[in-house]
Structure 1
Amino acid sequence: MSKKVFIFDDNNDILELCTLILEGAGYETKTSSTSNDIITQVSAYEPDIILMDNWLPDVGGIAATQALKKHPKYKSIPVVYFSANNDIRSLAETAGAESYLSKPFDIEELEEKVVSLIGK
């Protein structure tokens, strides 16, 4: 069975790019342009890993990731934090994310990051 990746980003180009890369690598993907009701969204899909953008409308990436990390069932899902911000490392730490990728990222980098966290 394929491992599942949930991508949160309000940029459609990024969502399409990540979907192409990850489905090409054999993962199942789901995308969302908002991190509102993060627990509801995650519980409906039960992903193996989450890619979380920093700048999201309404509820930002940090608050959404923190909510997940407080949840007994979903706190163990690794989160890769995405941002074009220079300070991505500290943003990811504040959020409680396991890893981070600065934008723009390259295809191999994204794939390697996902594989390193959840395997093929």
Structure 2
Amino acid sequence: MSKRLLIIDNDAEVLNVMQEALVYEGFEVKILGNTYNIFDVIAGYKPNLIMIDYILDGVNGGETCHEIKVHPETAHIPVVIVSAYSKVILSLGSYRSDAFLAKPFGLDEMVKLVNELLDAAEMQPY
């Protein structure tokens, strides 16, 4: 069974490129332009990994990451914060993200990071 990825970004072009690259690599990918009803989406889709842009329309992706990581039913899901703002990395600890991916990024770099996080998650007991 292929791994399910959830990608949240308000830039449709970025979403489409990320989705296309990851589907090509064999992943099932759901894309969202916002975080509305995020816990309902997670409960229904059951992603193995979430990638979220740091700056969304009216929402801080880091705060959404934190909410996911402190919720008992979703805390085990690896979350990657994606951002063009490199200073975001300084506050990652407070968001509990599993990784940071700086924009612009290479598609090979993104796929490698996703695979590393999924491999590490498989080794963790829930």
Q: Work out the number of aligned pairs and report it.
A: 119
- Equivalent in the alignment of 1:15: 15
Q: Does the residue aligned with 1:87 lie in a helix, a strand or coil? A: helix
Q: Answer yes or no: is 1:6 the counterpart of 2:1.
A: no
How many Å apart are 1:66 and its aligned residue? 1.1
How many Å apart are 1:74 and its aligned residue? 0.5
Q: Deviations over 1:5-54 (max 9, x none)?
A: 00000000110011011000000000000012221121121100000100
Q: Deviations over 1:44-90 (max 9, x none)?
A: 21100000100112332012111111111111100011000021322
TM-score under structure 1 length normalisation: 0.93
**How far apart in 2 are the matches of 1:26 and 1:68?**
25
TM-score under structure 2 length normalisation: 0.89
**How far apart in 2 are the matches of 1:88 and 1:105?**
15
- Equivalent in the alignment of 1:82: 82
- Equivalent in the alignment of 2:68: 68
**How far apart in 1 are the matches of 2:90 and 2:114?**
20
**How far apart in 1 are the matches of 2:59 and 2:118?**
26
Alignment of 1:79-118 (within 5 A): 79-118=79-118
**How far apart in 2 are the matches of 1:93 and 1:14?**
25
Which stretches in structure 2 are left out of the alignment for 5+ residues? 120-126
Q: Answer yes or no: is 1:27 the counterpart of 2:27.
A: yes
Q: Does the residue aligned with 2:10 lie in a helix, a strand or coil? A: coil
Which stretches in structure 1 are left out of the alignment for 5+ residues? none
**How far apart in 1 are the matches of 2:38 and 2:106?**
27
- Equivalent in the alignment of 2:124: none
Q: Please state which structure has a larger fraction of its residues in helix.
A: 2
Choose 52-61 or 17-26, whichever is displaced more: 52-61
**How far apart in 2 are the matches of 1:90 and 1:46?**
29
